Structure 1
Amino acid sequence: MNAVVIAVVLMLVLSLARMHVMVAMIVAAFVGGWVGGLDLNTTLEAFNAGIGGGAGIALSYALLGGFAVAISLSGLPHLLADAILKRIGAETGGKQSLWLKNALLLLLLSAAVMSQNLIPIHIAFIPILVPPLLMVMAKLNLDRRLVACVLTFGLITPYMFLPVGFGTIYLNDILLGRVAEAGLNVEGVSVVKAMAIPALGMVAGLLIAVLFSYRKPREYNIARIAVAEHTGRTYDRKSLLIAAAAVVLAFVVQLSTDSMVLGAMAGFVLFSVTGVVRWNESEGVVLDGIKMMASIGFIMIAASGFSEVLEKTGHIAELVNGSAGWLGDNKALAALLLLVVGLLLTMGIGSSFSTIPIIAAIYVPLCVQMGFSPLAIVALVGTAGALGDAGSPASDSTLGPTAGLNADGQHNHMRDTVVPTFLHFNLPLLVAGWIAAMVL
Structure 2
Amino acid sequence: MEWVVLSAVLLMTVLCLLKVNVILSILISTIAAGLMSGLGFADSVELLVAGMGNSANTALSYILLGAFAVAISYTGITKILVNFIIRVLTGKKTMMLFALAGVACLSQNAVPVHIAFIPILIPPLLKVFDQMRMDRRAVALALTFGLKAPYVMIPAGFGLLFQRLILDGLNSNGGEITLYEVTLSMLIPGSGMIVGLLIGILFTYRKDKASKDSMKEEKIKTEDLVEEITFGKQHVMTIIAIISALIVQIITQDLILGALTGIIAMFVLVALPFKKLDSVMAGGISMMGMISFIIFAAAGFANVLQETGAVSELVEVSVSALGNNKPLIAFVLLLLGLVITIGIGTSFGTIPIVAALFVPICLATGFSPLATAALVGTAGALGDAGSPASDSTLGPTSGLNADGKHDHIWDTCVPTFIHYNIPLFIFGWIAAMVL
Q: TM-score when scaled to structure 2?
A: 0.85
Deviation at residue 215 of structure 1 after TM alignment:
0.6
Q: Find the counterpart in structure 2 of residue 249 from structure 1.
A: 241
Given candidates 325, 330, 337, the residue that maps to 1:342 is: 337
From the superposition, tell whether residues 406 and 32 of structure 1 become closer, same or farther in structure 2 (CA, over 3 Å). Answer: same
Answer yes or no: is 1:352 the counterpart of 2:344.
no
> Size of the alignment, in residue pairs?
420
Task: Answer yes or no: is the 8 Å Cα contact 2:97–2:201 preserved in 1.
Answer: no
Q: Distance in 2 between matches of 1:193 and 1:63?
A: 33
Task: Answer yes or no: is the 8 Å Cα contact 2:154–2:160 preserved in 1.
Answer: yes
Deviation at residue 60 of structure 1 after TM alignment:
4.6
Q: TM-score when scaled to structure 1?
A: 0.84
Task: Answer yes or no: is the 8 Å Cα contact 2:83–2:227 preserved in 1.
Answer: no
Aligned pairs (5 A) from 1:320-399? 320-399=315-394
Q: Find the counterpart in structure 1 of residue 133 from structure 2.
A: 141
Q: Find the counterpart in structure 1 of residue 433 from structure 2.
A: 438
From the superposition, tell whether residues 157 and 237 of structure 1 become closer, same or farther in structure 2 (CA, over 3 Å). Answer: closer
From the superposition, tell whether residues 262 and 233 of structure 1 become closer, same or farther in structure 2 (CA, over 3 Å). Answer: farther
From the superposition, tell whether residues 297 and 36 of structure 1 become closer, same or farther in structure 2 (CA, over 3 Å). Answer: same
| 133-142 vs 209-218, which moves further | 133-142
Q: Find the counterpart in structure 1 of residue 99 from structure 2.
A: 107
Q: Distance in 2 between matches of 1:181 and 1:86?
A: 52
Task: Answer yes or no: is the 8 Å Cα contact 1:347–1:388 preserved in 2.
Answer: yes
From the superposition, tell whether residues 113 and 379 of structure 1 become closer, same or farther in structure 2 (CA, over 3 Å). Answer: same
**Corresponding residue SS for 1:372:** coil
| 181-190 vs 154-163, which moves further | 181-190
Deviation at residue 265 of structure 1 after TM alignment:
4.3
Partner amino acid, structure 1, of 2:31: F
Answer yes or no: is 1:209 the counterpart of 2:200.
yes
Answer yes or no: is 1:17 the counterpart of 2:18.
yes
What 5-or-longer segments of structure 1 have no aligned partner? 90-96, 225-230
Identity of aligned residues (%): 45
Partner amino acid, structure 2, of 1:134: L
Answer yes or no: is 1:176 the counterpart of 2:167.
yes
Aligned pairs (5 A) from 1:23-34? 23-34=24-35
Q: Distance in 2 between matches of 1:149 and 1:398?
A: 9
| 346-355 vs 109-118, which moves further | 109-118
Deviation at residue 131 of structure 1 after TM alignment:
2.4
Q: Distance in 2 between matches of 1:364 and 1:273?
A: 49
Partner amino acid, structure 2, of 1:312: E
| 125-134 vs 351-360, which moves further | 125-134
Q: Distance in 1 between matches of 2:390 and 2:309?
A: 22
**Corresponding residue SS for 1:204:** helix
1:149-192, CA deviations, whole angstroms, 9 ceiling, x for partnerless residues? 11111222222222222222222x21122112211232698223
Aligned pairs (5 A) from 1:68-147? 68=69, 72=73, 75-86=76-87, 97=91, 100-147=92-139
Deviation at residue 136 of structure 1 after TM alignment:
2.4
1:405-436, CA deviations, whole angstroms, 9 ceiling, x for partnerless residues? 22222222111111111000101111111122
Q: Distance in 2 between matches of 1:267 and 1:213?
A: 44
Deviation at residue 201 of structure 1 after TM alignment:
1.2
Task: Answer yes or no: is the 8 Å Cα contact 2:79–2:229 preserved in 1.
Answer: no
Q: Find the counterpart in structure 1 of residue 305 from structure 2.
A: 310
Q: Find the counterpart in structure 2 of residue 165 from structure 1.
A: 157
Partner amino acid, structure 2, of 1:30: I
Q: Find the counterpart in structure 1 of residue 220 from structure 2.
A: none
Partner amino acid, structure 2, of 1:293: M
Task: Answer yes or no: is the 8 Å Cα contact 2:234–2:271 preserved in 1.
Answer: no
What 5-or-longer segments of structure 2 have no aligned partner? 218-223
Task: Answer yes or no: is the 8 Å Cα contact 1:150–1:206 preserved in 2.
Answer: yes
| 260-269 vs 175-184, which moves further | 260-269
Partner amino acid, structure 2, of 1:213: T
1:300-334, CA deviations, whole angstroms, 9 ceiling, x for partnerless residues? 12112111111121111101101012212322211
| 148-157 vs 215-224, which moves further | 215-224
Q: Distance in 1 between matches of 2:201 and 2:225?
A: 34
Q: Distance in 2 between matches of 1:58 and 1:170?
A: 17
Task: Answer yes or no: is the 8 Å Cα contact 1:21–1:299 preserved in 2.
Answer: yes
| 261-270 vs 348-357, which moves further | 261-270
Q: Distance in 2 between matches of 1:386 and 1:30?
A: 25
Q: Find the counterpart in structure 2 of residue 193 from structure 1.
A: 184
Task: Answer yes or no: is the 8 Å Cα contact 1:149–1:209 preserved in 2.
Answer: yes
Q: Distance in 2 between matches of 1:374 and 1:156?
A: 23
Task: Answer yes or no: is the 8 Å Cα contact 1:62–1:297 preserved in 2.
Answer: yes
Aligned pairs (5 A) from 1:31-42? 31-42=32-43
**Corresponding residue SS for 1:198:** helix
Q: Distance in 1 between matches of 2:145 and 2:151?
A: 10
Q: Find the counterpart in structure 1 of residue 260 from structure 2.
A: 262
